[in-house]
Amino acid sequence: MDSSTTTSTDSEVAYDIPPILKVYKNGRIERLEGVEVAPPGLDPETNVESKDIVISEKDGLSARLYIPKTTYAPQQKLPLLVYFHGGAFIIETPFSPNYHNLLNNIVSKANVIGVSVHYRRAPEHPVPVAHEDSWSALKWVASHVGENGVEEWLKNHADFEKVFFAGDSAGANIASYLGIRVGLEGLPGLKLEGVVLVHPYFWGTEPLECEVEQAEGAAKVHQLWRFTCPTTTGSDDPIINPGQDPNLGKLASGRVLVFVAEKDLLKGRGLYYKELLEKSDWSGVVDVVETKDEGHVFHMLDPNCENAKALLNQIVSFIKQD
């Protein structure tokens, strides 16, 4: 093969998901968004300290941990927030500047310990690898119950009786999945108190009433799901459609807060999730907050806007039970 043929193959796109990713015919994957990295350390604005830890070197599984700098009294215990970032299971990491800043702010305002999970992403690692990685991360977190484990911040300062899961978009999908899995399998010593789902990435084969007139966007969601999970049965796979999950009612948390955005194609799925939970044998309380005039994950795209600040404060209030 001459060099011109090689160059041609290198630049030929096999699959394009604008504006986030390109897959080239030679197998190379180019992420176009969510690739910036903010270093860990002490954030002077929030007085929150962070550090990166490896959970499994073999699986490339890691996390960024957060602690309020004021929390160095030997026995002071704080609620624990486990966060799962969004990005369609394809892009972003806990180290992206906007996620790093979001966690600094939540940890500071809610006065919690934070664990932001770096799961492996599609297409190199198709769904459900992200879900299995997140479950492994959760089991690692739970290994610190009873002041065991290797991570000082968790074993000395995390209150495992007050654990919260949160995530946005694909991360909200993972947070819901893990809430159900804790209900099914249990994690001894860990009590899940609340789950926060921001613009959750759920879908289904049958369009909801609000989706009927958005056929083009809906088709893209179907295609995106199949791209990230090639082995799926389709958009009624229980991972993407909670209406098809017979175990939804096993959700371990007694409180759930769902955020939806008025201009988000996925808005109907967040509302439907509330309806499904209330129809199941789950006995908790689920609330939905809708943000007017905003689109999908607007709070990550414009974190300094007033609606983003309001959303952040509502997450904090949910954790603190204000």
Catalytic residue positions, numbered: 169
- For helices 170-185 and 129-142, what crossing angle results, to 10°? 60
What SS3 state is found at 61?
Answer: strand
Gap between the Cα atoms of 252 and 234, Å rounded: 26
Contact criterion met (CB below 8 Å) for 161 and 191:
yes
Contact criterion met (CB below 8 Å) for 147 and 156:
yes
In the numeric block, which tokens belong to residue 8? 């041609």
Strand ranges of the sheet holding 255-261, from the earlier edge strand across to the other edge: 42-43, 48-56, 61-68, 113-118, 78-84, 158-168, 192-198, 255-261, 285-291
Containing 136, the helix (H) or strand (E) segment is: helix 129-142
Gap between the Cα atoms of 5 and 12, Å rounded: 11
Strands 48-56 and 42-43: antiparallel
Any idea what DSSP says for residue 129? H
Gap between the Cα atoms of 292 and 137, Å rounded: 35
What SS3 state is found at 276?
Answer: helix
**Sign of the CA dihedral running 54, 170, 85, 115:** negative
Find the DSSP H helices in 12-120.
97-110
What SS3 state is found at 192?
Answer: strand
Which residues does 145 contact at the CB level (< 8 Å), separation at least 6?
160, 188, 189, 190
Contact criterion met (CB below 8 Å) for 56 and 170:
no
